[in-house]
Chains A and B, each alone.
Chain A
Amino acid sequence: AQRVTQPEKLLSVFKGAPVELKCNYSYSGSPELFWYVQYSRQRLQLLLRHISRESIKGFTADLNKGETSFHLKKPFAQEEDSAMYYCASVRGYSTLTFGKGTMLLVSP
């Protein structure tokens, strides 16, 4: 079965520090991976998808097939980045599988 693993429940950093939110997947084919974010009192929303190779709000994520990882990175964290981050993978044709999420806290 396809799995998405986010090993850290909580990641706490200081403003300006680099951030890396880890995501590992298990999938035998070509994965389709996403990062979703839920800010306080806001709806869960798409942050990044690997197919787009884009940078959103300073965040990037590179698919590493050798390590089966899709880590989310930002060189300099901001307080407004504090949120719950979910890694997700397409499962089969019609569904998404989410990881358990990582809470990012950025302190001043």
Chain B
Amino acid sequence: NAGVTQTPKFQVLKTGQSMTLQCAQDMNHEYMSWYRQDPGMGLRLIHYSVGAGITDQGEVPNGYNVSRSTTEDFPLRLLSAAPSQTSVYFCASSYSPPTGGGQPQHFGDGTRLSIL
């Protein structure tokens, strides 16, 4: 099993461009989430989904859209990239939401995104 797969691994964009970061998992996990990792800021939750067709905002959702049409995929869209969105983006999944037993989150390798 591949676990959580993120593509691309690296991307450089110009301000104003749009793009989609892909995330796929093959573990039949219901819960998926996107984080951004910035120096000195730790991981901050962007959006999450508790199942197909259900998404919700995290701590820093502005400038990002998500959808969850299948259990396996949870793409993150940047509609109009800004330099402040330069970051490393991590996708994670788990069988169920984090609470109630401490479901471990399975992380992808990350996408390093630079916005010029």
Interface of A is mostly: loop
Q: With A and B bound together, what is the CA distance between A101 and B40 in angstroms?
A: 8
In the complex, the answer to whether A95 meets B102 with C-beta atoms within 8 Å is: no
Chain A residues touching B, range: 20 to 34
Q: What is the CB-to-nearest-CB distance from A74 to chain B, in angstroms, rounded to a whole number?
A: 20
Evaluate contact between A90 and B98: CB separation under 8 angstroms: yes
Number of B positions contacting A (CB below 8 A)? 27
Q: Mark A43-54, 1 if CB is under 8 A from B, else 0.
A: 111100111100
Q: Contact: B48 with A95, CB < 8 Å?
A: yes
Q: Is A94 part of the contact surface with B, judged by Cβ < 8 Å?
A: yes
Does chain A have a CB within 8 A of B77?
Answer: no
Given contacts A34-B102, A45-B107, contact A94 B31 (CB under 8 A): yes
Q: Using CB atoms, name the residue of chain A closest to B6.
A: A43
Instruction: Say yes or no for A100: interface residue by CB 8 A criterion.
Output: yes
User: In the bound complex, do residue B107 and residue A43 qualify as a contact, i.e. CB atoms below 8 Å apart?
Assistant: yes
Task: Find chain A residues with CB under 8 A from B35 CB.
Answer: 98
9 A-B residue pairs with Cβ-Cβ distance under 8 Å, sorted by A, are A34-B102, A44-B92, A44-B107, A49-B102, A90-B98, A90-B99, A94-B97, A98-B44, A101-B42
